[in-house]
Amino acid sequence: MAGMARAATTSDVFNAIAEPQRREILRLLRGGEQAVNELAQELGMTQPGASKHLRVLREVGLVRDRRAGKQRLYGLDARGLRPVHEWTGGFEQFWNESFDRLDAYVQDLKQARRKE
């Protein structure tokens, strides 16, 4: 199947979080639900701009929304991050190895300093 294009941003969580402002929205929502105007203000962007990002995040299952009176509140739905977590999980052994190497390096430095 040559020439198969990647799925559009709207269906791919990896593409959705590739955008820095969308990652920032997710970070802000870790603190709890927020209305779009609050998010827009914190991001220093227009409300339509923030809404567009929120729509993408909602379509990939990272954000859910609910009506609260006249407002619509957005909240984090971290279950959508599972594919990312599973993908990065395959690399954990490398981080652990580099931390072990770093630890060994620091220990060597300490011993070298004692000998000086």
What pLDDT is stored for residue 11 in this prediction?
A: 66
Q: Determine, yes or no, domain membership for 2.
A: no
Read off the pLDDT of residues 45-68 as tens digits, 9 standing for 90 and up: 999 999 999 999 999 999 999 999
Q: Determine, yes or no, domain membership for 4.
A: no
Q: Determine, yes or no, domain membership for 45.
A: yes
Q: Determine, yes or no, domain membership for 20.
A: yes
Measured over the CA atoms of residue 5, residue 23, residue 84 and residue 95, the dihedral's sign is positive
Q: Determine, yes or no, domain membership for 43.
A: yes
- Cα-based torsion angle of the residue sequence 66, 68, 70, 73 in order, rounded to the nearest 10 degrees: -50
**Exposure of 83 in the CB half-sphere (CA atoms within 13 A):** 11
Confidence band of 9 (pLDDT split at 50, 70, 90):
very low
CATH number for position 100: 1.10.10.10
Q: Determine, yes or no, domain membership for 61.
A: yes
Read off the pLDDT of residues 72-109 as tens digits, 9 standing for 90 and up: 999 999 888 898 988 888 888 887 787 788 888 888 88
Q: Determine, yes or no, domain membership for 39.
A: yes
The boundaries of the domain holding residue 41 are 9-115
In the chain, how many domains are there? Answer: 1
Q: Determine, yes or no, domain membership for 25.
A: yes
Read off the pLDDT of residues 13-44 as tens digits, 9 standing for 90 and up: 999 999 999 999 999 999 999 999 999 999 99
